[in-house]
A and B are shown apart, each in its own frame.
Chain A
């Protein structure tokens, strides 16, 4: 059985920027073979030069990416996809505007070919607070945000600083455990979503060294910083993963291999507040990469979490 394909669910109400984000990801796949599942092709502005061909509900894009319209049967689309010869590297599901992304996430547990990587929900900074109080859809929007592992506070270019700050205070109050990141035009760096594997192979952590570099960004959206930390000592992997997923770190994601207390190497994965610990592939080197919005990353916090005696101190 091949490794399950990571799936990221993109939720958010109508107009929050889901479609723009999907399009952005397709343009910045950088060699990752993406499959994007959308409710319908209606407003999806895929550049014509990206399209290699269309076969009914599937649009083939350059670089091995595909975009599928699932209409009213997502489970059938996922099943069709898993029966294909070559599975994509990563799947994004764009939930419909009134769908609850958590329910989609649960249905993924029914398909062995897939693994829920995380639920990212967009919030429109210009409307989210008033919409969350709206008579008909207010509770739907709150339930969508409640399902999020990571919230993308989008359209920040359209609000003043006070309103942006008011949104953050509101998110902190309503969703105290969910990290959020800033965004403009849904341009979130693709590395925020894709597997950190490529970064892992590039970094060669030596004992007690830390590297930090800034990821490239395309637009005036916020900068993301990645931090590589070596964790050579034995550590309670679940404890570390849960700590990394704590909102105070505001991590967008983290991935790493650590020696667990049972003397086995484990893979730690974090997307926002979601974390998992699974047996690591054979031959990996211990180490951890964390990604956060540049101004939110507290290197000090992460470092102290990764110290040998951290669990006793914190």
Chain B
């Protein structure tokens, strides 16, 4: 059974025939891309013209996000920017703390159980002149039920008095840098860092696995993927116990499940040897739609949380250097065993010192276990400098940059965290490409919204929230950005042989667009409308998902 889709234009990412008008699909895979005449040679077919006025491009690949975003949409959205939920509703951004409180109050009024928790997410006080939110403000939402809001960064939470009381924090005598106290000696309700957030978060409706998706959340996440043109998405840090794996395999195997998920095993909490054994076991359970067997290491913290490990001269505001989340010996042990077992490792670094450690460690590990096609990838790598890219090139490394970060926190990096010079070369996509580094760009959803076209816009314009262009020199072209969100990302996942371009033999994964992203202005790239997707030959309209 062959279907030939006709489209206004098909952007293939195949340099031999970059734009065509027709693509033939059989059994979920691409027979060929070309003209109708060329494709009829495959034999009997059905011509499908539903995309005749649309533009197709390869299904987009989000190389660094977390499927938990679907679950988070069950909480109340409190962000500053407009954001689309899994059902296509665009929640308006909130321009003041008062508006945040109003939205929570409206939601509170709909709750029946007077003790049920009310949970919000994505608030970012840097847009409110960095004003602190207090428990008294959230007490205006409710005094009977716990109320909590997670910040957009994921590093800070604000709660009301009831939540503090339930967690037994509403008392004198607490001494912790992450729990600021008011004039009355009691916590203000701001909670900084996982150590202090989680115990209260449990009371305020956040469950213990704040980074792990659940079944309805995974389905909602898939809806977001269809709305943003994504046909393969990573779930970049998971524990992947048997129950989760079984659920992931089962849910993604449904006929109507529209996205391929690649879930990486997170290094934390197990020894290097256990991690490798688990990754090997997971690899053998991998399915077409639920890919397993890769490893995620977190080397350091975040730049805006001042927990990233950065090189001299350190933080712009003089904050002390950040924290290691893994010991160098453990990283080396994991790298060596992974290279030996052909397991791919993605390593989160934010600071340039953490990147140095990755480069030094991989260089040593590769001497022991040479592996030319390892495709070890640095995730974020926000402060990688030119010399580091040159080393990455010699070590055959890939990078997946956090392009969205410029827009959301670029001004903060410029003014506070690393200062103008380094802020201008953060997520240096241009230098990466100039050094031949395979490049992907990402959203880290739910930290920032899932939308590869928006991410591409960020890398192309390097515009910050205040409207400045930050790092003119590091801009990439639209074509380069579109490559990064398709074949580039596919390469970092070692899937470029299956996905990322529209050509014979590959999986029939398409993003269906209303406009041609290669013919719009750079500014308009983020506004190109997504009609839906085709994934493994199945058509998913955003309007019906």
Interface residues of A (CB under 8 A from B): 13-15, 39-40, 42-43, 69-76, 79, 96-98, 100, 103-104, 106-107, 109-112, 136-137, 139-140
Contacts and interface: CB of A to CB of B under 8 A. Distances in A.
Contacts of A111: 168, 199
A42 B325 CA distance: 18
A40 B328 contact: no
Contacts of A98: 323-327
Interface stretch (B242-250, B266-274, B452-460, B501-509): B266-274
Interface in B227-259: none
A106 B194 CA distance: 13
A42 B195 contact: no
A43 B274 CA distance: 11
11 contacts: A14-B330, A72-B266, A73-B198, A73-B208, A96-B327, A97-B327, A98-B323, A98-B325, A106-B177, A106-B195, A136-B324
Contacts of B416: none
Interface string B303-327: 0000001000000000001011111
Contacts of B323: 98, 100, 140
Nearest to B272: A42
A298 B437 CA distance: 64
A43 B333 CA distance: 14
A75 B353 contact: no
Interface in B152-169: 168-169
Given A97-B327, A139-B321, A71 B270 contact: yes
Given A15-B329, A42-B271, A109-B174, 4 more contacts: A70-B269, A79-B202, A110-B195, A111-B199
B357 interface: yes
B295 to A, nearest CB: 15
Contacts of A70: 269
Contacts of B268: 71-72
Of B171, B327, B330, chain A has the most CB atoms within 10 Å of the CB of: B327
A109 B270 CA distance: 27
A73 B273 CA distance: 20
A74 B208 CA distance: 12
A242 B517 CA distance: 70
A76 B208 contact: yes
Q: For the complex, would chain B's binding face be called helix, strand, loop or mixed by DSSP majority?
A: loop
A107 B178 CA distance: 9
Contact of B328 (A42, A75, A136): A136
Interface in B196-227: 196, 198-199, 202, 208
A136 B355 CA distance: 11
B327 A14 contact: yes
B185 to A, nearest CB: 13
Contact of A40 (B173, B196, B269): B269
B176 A110 contact: yes
Contacts of B266: 72
Contacts of B199: 75-76, 79, 110-111
A69 B357 CA distance: 28
B327 A13 contact: yes
Given A100-B323, A137-B327, A139-B321, A40 B198 contact: no
Q: Which 7 residue pairs spanning A and B have beta carbons closest together? A: A71-B269, A42-B271, A72-B268, A107-B195, A98-B324, A97-B327, A72-B269
B334 to A, nearest CB: 13
B357 to A, nearest CB: 5
B183 interface: no
Contacts of B539: none
A55 to B, nearest CB: 15
Given A76-B208, A97-B330, A109-B174, A137 B274 contact: no
Nearest to A82: B168
Nearest to B187: A110
A138 to B, nearest CB: 11
B162 to A, nearest CB: 17
Nearest to B329: A14
B84 interface: no
Interface string B335-359: 0000000000000000001001100
B175 interface: yes
A110 B269 contact: no
B179 interface: yes
B243 to A, nearest CB: 12
A71 to B, nearest CB: 3
A261 B269 CA distance: 49
Contacts of A14: 327, 329-330
